[in-house]
Each structure stands twice: as C-alpha cells, then as structure tokens.
Structure 1
Amino acid sequence: IIKLTDEAKLFAQSRYPFPPFIIRFPTPYIHEQKIVEELCKYLKENKQLALELSGYRKASAKCSSNECDLLLFVKNSYSFSILYDEKNWPQSILGLTYTRPSTPSIPPQLSLIIKNVSLSIDFADFTNEIKASYPNVRNVIRMKHKNQLNIKLVKLEFSEPGQRDEILNRGKIFVHFLTYDVEGYLAPARVLICSKCMGLGHFRKQCKQTQDTCKKCGQTYDDVNNHTS
C-alpha cells in the first residue's frame, strides 16, 4: 500500500484556488480596492474577523449593462468560512446596495471522507445523526463511482475549518455508536495537457514546439498522423 505524504496531501488539497465569492452591484462604476478595504474593515471592527484575500477582480460578463460583479478570492479556509456565513455580510458597502447571485461550492479544504460506510444503512438517518452531533457539517454526500453507483465512501462538507480539522486530527468519527475512519478529501485531478507536445500546463495554440509529438511513441514528426509507431 502506498502511503501519501503530508506534502502530497497538501498539494492535492490546494492545487485549485478557492471558488470566488461574487458581489453584484447595481452600477457598472465601482472602485474595487475601496470596496475590498471597506469590507475587510467592517468585518474586523464589527465581527472581530480577519479576512484574508489572495485577489479580487471586476467582471461584467453575466451582468446587465447597468450592473457589475466583484469577484473575491479568499486566501485560506478560515477566510472562506467568514464569507460563507451570511450573518457576516454588511447590508451595504460604501453606501452601495448589492446582491450575491450565487454561493460558491464548499472546497476540498473544508471537506473530508468517511470510509467503509455500509450501503445498507438508512442514509437519511445517518445524515441527521451527523448534523446533530457536528453542527458545522453543511452537506453529507454518498460518493459514487464512474457508473454512478453508490460506494462505501461518504463526503462531509463543513462551513468552517475547526470541527473538520479536529475530526481529521483524531482520524475517526463517531456515528450511531460506531467508529469510522476518516481522511482528507482529495479533489479529482484535472491536468492540462498540450495536444501538440504532450507537455503539461499549456494549450496547443500556446505551444512553442514546431513538430507534433506522438502520444504513443513519444517521438516528434512533421505529420504525426502519417507514421508507424
């Protein structure tokens, strides 16, 4: 059995950025930096919460002509939990009203997997027991394999990191007088592969290689379709 190192787990859980929080304003004219500064100030002074952002940007692709969106990218799971809690948002920012058109999905950094959960249990009862015992669990999801059949893994999604980290550090969770092993949830890998050179991290149109690389033999050719591998 191959045991994953802590470094490998950390990479797998953090290779994707956190999904953004979207704020929609009823005007196309906003000052992004001032809005972000005001939101951070509000949270610090009124909620005693330190929000950390890795970035933000304005967008208008999904807005009408008299609207704009501001996308906020959080730096860590603690900051994600701050913005995920509806009670932490102010009614307005810099005097501007706003809406939040969607709620981001809970990321792998706030999830874990329960192992060896019988397929014959009453799953609704199992879910209710978990949520009663662990109030920060937002979703309980029976995992499926590629043919969409249930498997013995259950994913828990948390609204904040504290309870999730406590369970992971213990390595076990207790449900209905039974003890289950738990582990971190590793999101499925999505790797960008160039169809020209078979290299990682860029598209074909960005490739600097002049010839095509055959994905079977690994050699380069002027016409990759006309050779015998």
Structure 2
Amino acid sequence: MIDTIINSYISTENTATHAIEQHLPPINIKCEPKLNDQKHATTLIKEFFSRIEKEFRKLNTKYAKPLGFYYWFIDRDGNLQCFTHEIELFVFLCGSQNYPDKILDTKITANTPKRLPPQCSIILKYIPKDISVEDIKKEISIKYQTTFNIEEMRGSIGRTSRHVRIDLTSQCEYTKMMNSGVIAIGGQLIEAVEFLAPLRILICSRCNAPGHIKKDCKGEHDVCRRCGGNKIQGEHRECTIKCHHCNGNHESTSFECPLITEFRKELINKLKSKAHTLPLKVQLFIPTEFRTQGDKNNRILINNTKNACLQRQSQTTLLNGNLNLHEWPCLPRNANSQTHTTANSSSLNGNNIWNEMIKTQNEFNILKAKFDEQEINMMKRYNEQKIKLGSILSL
C-alpha cells in the first residue's frame, strides 16, 4: 500500500509546489458587532489602513508599496480573515498594540499568532539545561528590544542541552544577531543560526494520506486520523489511537508512520534532483536522517547552480552594501576634450570598470561565505567537544 500511494502522488506538481511554498498564515481580526455586510467591511478595512499607515511607514521607512491585503473575506463568525504576501505588513499586524481599539463604531481585536514566520526566526543552539527560558528572556531583552517569542524546540531537547527559537520583529535586530553569530547568555557564548523552514507535506483531510488534497481524493468518506473509522459515525474525540496506514500506535498523520516517513524521504529526494529549479529565495531544512553523507551543505536545500549563487550574492551586496547603479557619482567633465568618440570610449571604460568591480565583489562574497561556513563548523565542533567534556566530568 505504501509503495502504491507514494508512486501515485510523489510525481505530481501539487506535491512539490506545496512542499516549498511558505505562505504567510491568515490574519484574524475579531469584530464586535459581527460583520455581515461586504460594503461596510470594505469601508472598515480602508479606514483601518488609514489609521495604521503613519506608524507602519515610520517603522518601515523603505517600504514603498501602498498598504492593503492581498485578499480578505468575512468568515461565518462575522470576523475578518485577511491575507498578505508582504512580510513587513504581516509582522506589523502581529503586534496587538498596532491596532486601533475601535473603527466606525466597530470594536476590533487582533488574534495574533504565537510565532513569526521563519524569515524572522533565529535558533540559539546547545543552550545548557541549567539556563532556564526565563533567564534567556531576561538576557536577550537587555540587548534586543523587539523580541516577539522565545521557546524551546521540542525535538532538540537532550540530556544536557537544547535549542531555543527566538522571533524578532525588527529586521535590524535580526540582521545584527545573525551577523554576530553568537550571543552571550549567562557568561557563555551561544551559537545563533538562521532558522530554516522544513518542507511541507500535502496531506488529504479526507483519507489522511500524503500527496493530494480532498477534492482529488478517491475515498468515499472522511476518515478519523485517530482510529481510522468513518467520521460521520460517532464523536471520535476519545477513540482508540490506531494508524489506519500501518496499524501503529499513533495518529495516521504522525511522522512516526512509515508511510509519512517514506513519502517525506522520497519527496526530499525528488526536490534534491530538481534543486536547480527552486526559486532563489527558497531555503529548506533537511532533517538529519535524510541528509546526504559527505556533503558539506547537506542540511540546506537550495538552488545551488552558479548563476543562482551569483544572483543571490549580487542581491545581498546591493541590499546590505547599499550599492546602487543610479547613485554612483559622476566624474567631472574634461573641458579640453569633448569629442563624441572620447565620450563613448569613456562610457565603455566606465562600464567595464563597474562590471569588473561587481565580479570582484561576487568573488569576495563567495570566499566570505566559505569562511563563514568554516567558522560555524568550527564553533559547532567546539561546542560538541565542550558538551562531551562536561558529560565526562559530571560522571
């Protein structure tokens, strides 16, 4: 059964597309009284943006686009479900303090998420267990003022240490921490690395099998993910947990299921084989058990072609180095030689010089990236040896 399902769905484009998509979740705005009129809701949203625009642009000085949602609708409870593709707007609306209390006689309340998107998250690695989360929060709040959330990562909790995820609303503070690479907590330097989103698995809400959605499902009825029975028959709130894929003691959508695990493995292998087609901005985390042995960059799945690397580095240079072709200063004109030929020659020479500078900058960025990677690996090995030494001394 496992091979049949995997072979049926692993090759579909929907499966691969869903795996790499990182859409922002909806923004839920509760309204009192409840909304039931589309025109009134439209007027309310327009007024909402006019109220928050001044503060938003004050915090996001480089944001030049008009404010608005990608789309929105009134849900069945009379509240607003709003969607945006702009990370700046999403992060701004994650703060309840940025919402007006009342608009057009309608009281609005923000239902903010618990976490920010991966683009705003950093992992603090191998923090000793004797340093509590509260101590971490106190130390970080002294140096970073825009902390949104700090929590332990469940899968990383070991005998002596664990990883902690931190979300920052300020891009400046995020860049500052990433550039530093470490943060001091309790007098100890803790490694800070970029949080990479895992790939997403498309799971059917009808049959709980991976690789397709409900509208494409061939199942006859909705299946309970706990017991595998028909959802229509019974409450299914306290039913016996038994996976209907493998008869194991877990829910059918759990990563403990061999079907889900094997599907995940095949999906990663498929994306690896087509890594050259991935969008430039996509960086996916590869779990330890699915990494290629001997590959230095086996924890990240990206488009690693030469052109893609150069484009990413060029974009980074322009954004972080503030380089702008239009801001390059003009050389003073030579009053004694104004011939057309000389002007064209000077222009060509200028372009050649600029292209050579860009090429040199890209080569420098490649060397710097290799150096940074080696430095991170050395720090990782150092921390691992320190943990092992601590374990030996504690025996």
Which TM class, normalised by the smaller chain length?
Answer: 0.5 to 0.7
Q: What fraction of aligned residue pairs are identical, expressed as a percent?
A: 23
1:72 pairs with one of 58, 75, 82: 82
Query: 1:141 maps to what in 2?
Result: 151
Asked if 2 retains the 8 angstrom alpha-carbon contact of 1:24 and 1:98, the reply is yes
Asked if 2 retains the 8 angstrom alpha-carbon contact of 1:78 and 1:160, the reply is no
Asked if 1 retains the 8 angstrom alpha-carbon contact of 2:100 and 2:108, the reply is no
Query: Is 1:42 aligned to 2:51, yes or no?
Result: yes
2:33 pairs with one of 17, 26, 40: 26
Whose RCO is larger (CA < 8 A, sep 6+)? Answer: 1
Cα pair distance change 1:17/1:54, threshold 3 Å:
same
Deviation, 1:47, is 5.6
Deviation, 1:110, is 2.3
Query: Is 1:16 aligned to 2:32, yes or no?
Result: no
Deviation, 1:92, is 2.3
Query: Is 1:59 aligned to 2:75, yes or no?
Result: yes
Query: Which residues in structure 2 correspond to 1:92-111 (within 5 Å)?
Result: 92-93=102-103, 95-100=104-109, 102-107=111-116, 108-111=118-121
What do residues 108-159 of structure 1 show as CA deviations (whole Å, max 9, x unaligned)? 3322101121123344323211122212113221222289988521111223
In 2, distance between residues paired with 1:121 and 1:146?
15
In 2, distance between residues paired with 1:47 and 1:121?
36
Structure with the bigger percentage of strand: 1
Query: Is 1:185 aligned to 2:192, yes or no?
Result: no
In 1, distance between residues paired with 2:67 and 2:158?
38
Partner of 2:101, secondary structure, is coil
What do residues 17-44 of structure 1 show as CA deviations (whole Å, max 9, x unaligned)? 2342323231433333332222222222
Asked if 2 retains the 8 angstrom alpha-carbon contact of 1:112 and 1:155, the reply is yes
Asked if 2 retains the 8 angstrom alpha-carbon contact of 1:119 and 1:151, the reply is yes
Partner of 1:117, secondary structure, is strand
In 2, distance between residues paired with 1:166 and 1:71?
33
Query: Is 1:84 aligned to 2:94, yes or no?
Result: yes
In 2, distance between residues paired with 1:26 and 1:128?
40
In 2, distance between residues paired with 1:146 and 1:133?
25
Q: Which amino acid aligns with 2:174?
A: R
Query: 1:131 maps to what in 2?
Result: 141
Q: Structure 2: which 5+ runs fail to align? A: 1-17, 59-65, 219-258, 263-395
Query: 1:221 maps to what in 2?
Result: none
2:176 pairs with one of 163, 166, 169: 166
In 2, distance between residues paired with 1:181 and 1:52?
38
Partner of 2:190, secondary structure, is strand
In 1, distance between residues paired with 2:90 and 2:164?
22
Asked if 1 retains the 8 angstrom alpha-carbon contact of 2:73 and 2:82, the reply is yes
What do residues 169-194 of structure 1 show as CA deviations (whole Å, max 9, x unaligned)? 33332333432222222344431156
Asked if 2 retains the 8 angstrom alpha-carbon contact of 1:13 and 1:186, the reply is no
Q: TM-score, normalised to structure 1's length?
A: 0.66
In 2, distance between residues paired with 1:119 and 1:92?
45
Q: CA RMSD in A?
A: 3.6
Partner of 1:115, secondary structure, is strand
In 2, distance between residues paired with 1:132 and 1:169?
18
Asked if 1 retains the 8 angstrom alpha-carbon contact of 2:153 and 2:162, the reply is yes
In 2, distance between residues paired with 1:146 and 1:88?
34
1:116 pairs with one of 103, 107, 126: 126
Q: Which amino acid aligns with 1:58?
A: I
What do residues 59-91 of structure 1 show as CA deviations (whole Å, max 9, x unaligned)? 02xx3xxxx101122333321232223332223
Deviation, 1:56, is 1.4
Structure with the bigger percentage of helix: 2
Structure number with bigger Rg: 2
In 1, distance between residues paired with 2:21 and 2:185?
29
